[in-house]
């Protein structure tokens, strides 16, 4: 089975209605389409299909939505680099993913180019080396594990040579959506003196296919520390039973649930967003059912770049129906509005 990358292929495969064809062509003209073979095979699950199959609702762009919802560019000292927190940076080593999620907060840029050009990579590495406060480098993109083992190994070698860098973190969907890439060559690149922590993005238990679980086992046997991050998505996992099944499955496979993200204000994604109160209610139910090691933190990336906060009463106060005052880590306050429902 090959990747699905066109609307006619989606329609021919029975994954989208023919009457939506024109609207879906408009959607993918703006927000790219790519569904890996592994996830194409899993599209019989509504929880999987809704994440990857384009929908006409994506043409509805709301005023509060942003091309750069978490402010990556606001804190970018060099191409591909974001330095928002004093001790860590984000390094986008590629813009390619094995799948393009319909809710992605970088959906305006993923797929637009390929790997970070060598000159830009050199500038980013020079900045990291010249800033000794940086002890952690988070590789993202795009998806870092879509790189060849040679390219990824070169980047990790360069980071390992910087004395102030103590750990690397890789954010990736690949072990789940393209598990065949987790072969001996890739795992050998990750098994190194520099601690590499892998944060796997997965949102629904049906994504954790037999092949995905086998890939995660291979990573575990190599001693790679693994965590997960998920996005709370209306119609996908905004259900306590679904989230419980996901977090239990992750823990069974030695992956610690780490973050449950409130859906970002990416353009054309309002149909995915829940309210904060709905998210809190789900977390309250999960706390009754799951042990602490199976529970992620429910967090919001504050629009504009003020950083990530847990959506607890200490950081999120409801000031009016559908309106919230969010307090960032430095004590600044920001207004956040729940999505309007028509």
Known catalytic residues are: 84-85, 88, 97, 101, 104, 106, 264, 301, 308
Residues with Cβ < 8 Å from 80, sequence gap 6 or more? 91, 92, 93, 116, 120, 121, 124
CA quadruple 133, 136, 139, 145: dihedral sign: positive
* Residue 231 region by backbone torsions, left for phi larger than 0, else alpha for psi between -120 and 50, else beta: beta
Round to whole Å and give the CA distance between 182 and 171. 14
Strand 316-320 relative to strand 225-232, pairing = unpaired
Residue 60 burial (CB count, 10 A): 14
Round to whole Å and give the CA distance between 258 and 279. 16
Query: What are the tokens at 45?
Result: 């699950």
CA–CA distance from 276 to each of 14, 152, 233, 282, 340 (Å)? 34, 37, 12, 10, 12
Contact 303, 265 (CB under 8 A): yes
Contact 227, 258 (CB under 8 A): yes
Contact 51, 107 (CB under 8 A): no
Residue found by looking up tokens 């209605």 in the block:
17
Q: How many residues does the chain have?
A: 342
In DSSP notation, 216-276 reads: HHHHHHTT-EEEEEEEE-TTTT-SHHHHHHHHHHHHHTT-EEEEEEEPP-BTT-GGG---H
Residue 257 CA to its chain's centroid (Å): 13
């Amino acid at each position: 089975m090959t990747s699905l990358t066109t609307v006619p292929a989606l329609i021919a495969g029975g994954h989208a209605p023919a009457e939506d064809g024109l609207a879906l062509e408009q959607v993918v003209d703006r927000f790219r389409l790519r569904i890996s073979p592994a996830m194409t095979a899993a599209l019989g699950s509504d929880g999987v299909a809704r994440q990857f199959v384009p929908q006409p609702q994506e043409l509805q762009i709301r005023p509060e939505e942003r091309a750069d919802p978490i402010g990556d560019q606001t804190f970018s000292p060099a191409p591909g680099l974001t330095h928002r927190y004093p001790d860590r940076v984000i390094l986008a080593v590629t813009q390619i993913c094995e799948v393009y999620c319909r809710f992605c907060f970088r959906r305006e840029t993923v797929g637009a180019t390929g790997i970070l050009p060598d000159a830009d990579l050199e500038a980013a590495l020079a900045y990291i080396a010249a800033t000794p406060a940086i002890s952690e480098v988070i590789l993202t993109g795009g998806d870092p594990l879509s790189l060849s083992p040679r390219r990824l190994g070169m980047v990790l070698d360069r980071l390992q040579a910087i004395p102030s860098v103590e750990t690397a973190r890789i954010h990736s969907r690949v072990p789940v959506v393209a598990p065949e890439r987790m072969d001996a060559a890739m795992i050998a690149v990750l098994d190194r003196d520099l601690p590499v922590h892998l944060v796997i993005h997965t949102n629904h238990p049906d994504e954790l296919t037999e092949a995905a679980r086998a890939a995660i086992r291979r990573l575990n046997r190599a001693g790679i520390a693994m965590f997960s991050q998920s996005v709370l998505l209306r119609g996908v996992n905004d259900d306590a039973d679904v989230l419980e099944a996901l977090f239990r499955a992750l823990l069974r496979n030695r992956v610690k649930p780490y973050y449950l993200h409130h859906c970002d204000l990416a353009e054309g994604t309002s149909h995915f967003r829940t309210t904060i109160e709905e998210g809190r209610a789900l977390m309250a139910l999960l706390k009754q059912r799951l042990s602490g090691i199976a529970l992620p933190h429910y967090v919001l990336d504050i629009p504009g770049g003020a950083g990530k906060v847990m959506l607890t009463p200490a950081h999120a106060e409801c000031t009016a129906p559908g309106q919230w005052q969010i307090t960032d880590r430095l004590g600044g306050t920001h207004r956040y509005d729940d999505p309007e429902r028509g």
